[in-house]
Amino acid sequence: MKSLGRFCISFVFWAFSLVVAGVPFFAEQFLLRKTTHGLAYPAVYVLIMGLFHLLAPDSMDALRNWRDRSGLLNGLVRRLMLAWGFYAVLATVIFLLFDNSLVAQIILATTVVLGTAWLLLTQRGRQALIVAGVGISSLPQRWGASSVIVIGIAGVVGVLVAMLAMGEGFQNTLKQTGSDDTAIVLRGGSQAETNSVITRDQVPLISALAGIAKDGNGRAQVSPELSQVINLPTVSDGNDANAQLRGVGSEAWSLRPNVKMVKGRKFGAGLRELIAGQGAAKQFRGLEVGKQIELANQNWTVVGIFAAGDSHDSELWADGEVLASTYQRTSFQSVTVKLAGKDGFKDLKKALAADPRLKLDVQTTHDYYAKQSEGLTKLITALGIVIGAIMAIGAVFGALNTMYAAVAGRAREIATLRALGFRSLPVVVAVMLETMLLALLGGLLGAVLAWLVFNGYQVSTLGSNFSQVVFQFKVSPELLWNGLKWALGIGLVGGLLPALRAARLPVTTALRAA
């Protein structure tokens, strides 16, 4: 009964401690802004405790001595501090991994500065460096076990960066498409060109609206366009895949000045000729200049290759009227217009809303194409984080196993240092530094491999218009930095428990075992 009573009291203490520890985070996370900024609270706590360790080590010793005494209040405080400290470390890791705000960067920079100052300016910090130096110098003798951490974390970082680079490349390709000085008009409620319909009698009404720029001859700069999904065999395996064939007129070129012919010539008006974007030419067979392809039982001649530097590189262009007659289309799907000045978009939107004959929506071409990437980018990012988290758990267990073995192998060495007067904190920090160094090596290896293998790698995926969009993986410096933060986070979590075990190892027990 006495053991059961102690267990119940201990359970209540732990539950109370965890609840109190998590209140600031959960209150801010779920009731206020629902962002990872709530994790800044435990992160600030870690900084404050580190500052106290740096500036008032004697006061911290007095607090620990009081905490370790027997008694109801002492036990409650002891459990509360342990639960809050463990929670704060984990929350800080998550905060620094997922929050790229200025707050997170300031906290991270402050943590690095305070930690470096503590290591260099305090006696215990210098003791930690001495212990860490001894451990690091023995790495070559146990490189096989240590490589488990390095290779495991390199795999996590490589896969994570590759997945996120895919989403970054797709998003960057679509965000580069369009501009703020052109707008696209679609049927009201349509999210993409494929489900939009604009009748031919609506085109003159759109051309007469305010906010649309005029050319040198006083004509409105508008480009009514068609979007037709066609099937073409891919270069990789010969299987059919969707490609987007855009029917345009002469105004399309002036509205998209970035589109340049790189080979051959433009298609002729009234002819069954087409030009291919450089991405589509690499993705599909039969798009070489001079070749013919069959569309709707008619032969079309490829007369040129163009480059746009955006998602239009994945398209094929042809004369809009010829395309309409081939596929028996009596209406258009979108109208792209040139805006007149900085207030052109507001004027055009107001004019569209005021005309009851035009149940149409308008947005800048930059915003339109940026929205097309949101869904797939979020999906790829979520998958990358989930896969990375699963692999990270495995890497954490690998780090735990390796560092536990390292601590056990160095039990006599650690016990000797403790007997010479080294305190627990330098031992904890030394083990953590060793683990973080291995994690950093693994993170750098994974980041370099991801950059060498995937940066600029060209692939395609199905876009919002149900056609293939060709894009390149983009391994940006921000993604590499996020990968390194994941590596250090894994090292921090994986080295924490072995470090605490090394610090709590009784000197006499360790010496006898050795």
> Using one digit for the tens of pLDDT, what is the confidence trace for 375-420?
778 888 888 888 888 888 888 888 778 777 777 776 777 777 777 7
Q: pLDDT at residue 43 above 60?
A: no
Structure tokens at 420: 């010479």
Residue 28, in any domain of the structure: yes
Q: Which domain-ending residue is among 330, 358, 386?
A: 358
For residues 74 and 163, membership in a common domain is answered with: no
Higher pLDDT among residues 111 and 268, named by residue: 268
Q: What pLDDT, on a 0 to 100 scale, did the predictor assign at position 317?
A: 94
Q: pLDDT at residue 241 above 50?
A: yes
Q: pLDDT at residue 491 above 60?
A: yes
Q: Which domain-ending residue is among 308, 325, 358?
A: 358
Q: pLDDT at residue 260 above 90?
A: yes
Rounded to an integer, the average pLDDT of 310-321 is 91
Residue 103 CB contacts under 8 Å (≥ 6 apart), including other chains: 37, 40
- Dihedral Cα 293, 295, 299, 301, nearest 10 deg: -50
Give the range with max mean pLDDT: 45-49, 166-170, 406-410, 462-466: 166-170
For residues 224 and 317, membership in a common domain is answered with: yes
Q: pLDDT at residue 42 above 60?
A: no
For residues 117 and 135, membership in a common domain is answered with: no
For residues 133 and 108, membership in a common domain is answered with: no
The whole-model pTM stands at 0.72
Give the range with max mean pLDDT: 26-30, 58-62, 472-476, 508-512: 472-476
Average per-residue pLDDT for the chain: 80
Structure tokens at 413: 């060495």
Residues 461, 357: Cα–Cα separation, whole Å: 37
For residues 340 and 197, membership in a common domain is answered with: yes
Q: pLDDT at residue 31 above 60?
A: no
Q: What pLDDT, on a 0 to 100 scale, did the predictor assign at position 307?
A: 93
Residue 366, in any domain of the structure: no
Residue 364, in any domain of the structure: no
Q: What pLDDT, on a 0 to 100 scale, did the predictor assign at position 6?
A: 55
| pLDDT classification of 52: cutoffs 50, 70, 90 | low
For residues 65 and 150, membership in a common domain is answered with: no
Q: What pLDDT, on a 0 to 100 scale, did the predictor assign at position 198?
A: 92
Q: What is the residue range of 473's domain?
A: 122-176+373-514
Residues 347, 16: Cα–Cα separation, whole Å: 60
Q: What pLDDT, on a 0 to 100 scale, did the predictor assign at position 461?
A: 76
Q: pLDDT at residue 259 above 60?
A: yes
Residues 91, 104: Cα–Cα separation, whole Å: 12
For residues 423 and 292, membership in a common domain is answered with: no
Rounded to an integer, the average pLDDT of 221-228 is 92
Higher pLDDT among residues 210 and 374, named by residue: 210
| pLDDT classification of 306: cutoffs 50, 70, 90 | very high
Residue 305, in any domain of the structure: yes
DSSP alpha helix (H) spans, 56-201: 57-67, 72-98, 102-121, 123-137, 143-175
Query: How many domains does the chain divide into?
Result: 3
Do 446 and 161 meet the contact criterion of CB atoms below 8 Å apart? yes
Interval 416-458: pLDDT, tens: 777 777 777 788 888 888 888 888 999 999 999 999 999 988 8
For residues 78 and 57, membership in a common domain is answered with: yes
**Long-range Cβ contact pairs of 233-241 (< 8 A, separation 24 or more):** 233/284, 233/285, 233/286, 234/283, 234/284, 234/285, 235/282, 235/283, 235/284, 235/285, 238/285, 241/283, 241/284, 241/460, 241/468
DSSP alpha helix (H) spans, 212-343: 251-255, 278-283, 320-326
Rounded to an integer, the average pLDDT of 242-267 is 91
Interval 129-167: pLDDT, tens: 888 887 888 778 777 778 888 888 899 899 889 888 988
For residues 117 and 129, membership in a common domain is answered with: no
Q: pLDDT at residue 301 above 90?
A: yes
For residues 393 and 494, membership in a common domain is answered with: yes
Do 449 and 504 meet the contact criterion of CB atoms below 8 Å apart? no
| pLDDT classification of 324: cutoffs 50, 70, 90 | very high
For residues 315 and 428, membership in a common domain is answered with: no
Q: pLDDT at residue 78 above 50?
A: yes
What SS3 string covers 240-251?
A: EEEEEEEEECCH
Residue 230, in any domain of the structure: yes
Q: What pLDDT, on a 0 to 100 scale, did the predictor assign at position 34?
A: 47
């732990």: which residue's tokens? 14
Residue 420, in any domain of the structure: yes
* Cα→Cα distances 492→82, 120, 306, 402, 436, Å: 17, 20, 50, 14, 6
For residues 144 and 286, membership in a common domain is answered with: no
| pLDDT classification of 32: cutoffs 50, 70, 90 | very low
Q: Which of 111-125, 292-306, 307-321 has the lowest mean pLDDT?
A: 111-125
Q: What pLDDT, on a 0 to 100 scale, did the predictor assign at position 394?
A: 84
| pLDDT classification of 66: cutoffs 50, 70, 90 | low
Rounded to an integer, the average pLDDT of 455-465 is 76
Q: How many degrees, rounded to 5, is the angle at CA 303 between CA 298 and CA 307? A: 120
Q: pLDDT at residue 509 above 80?
A: no
DSSP-derived pairing of the beta strands 315-319 and 240-248: parallel
Q: pLDDT at residue 230 above 80?
A: yes
Residue 184, in any domain of the structure: no
Higher pLDDT among residues 237 and 419, named by residue: 237
Q: Which domain-ending residue is among 358, 381, 400?
A: 358
Residue 315, in any domain of the structure: yes
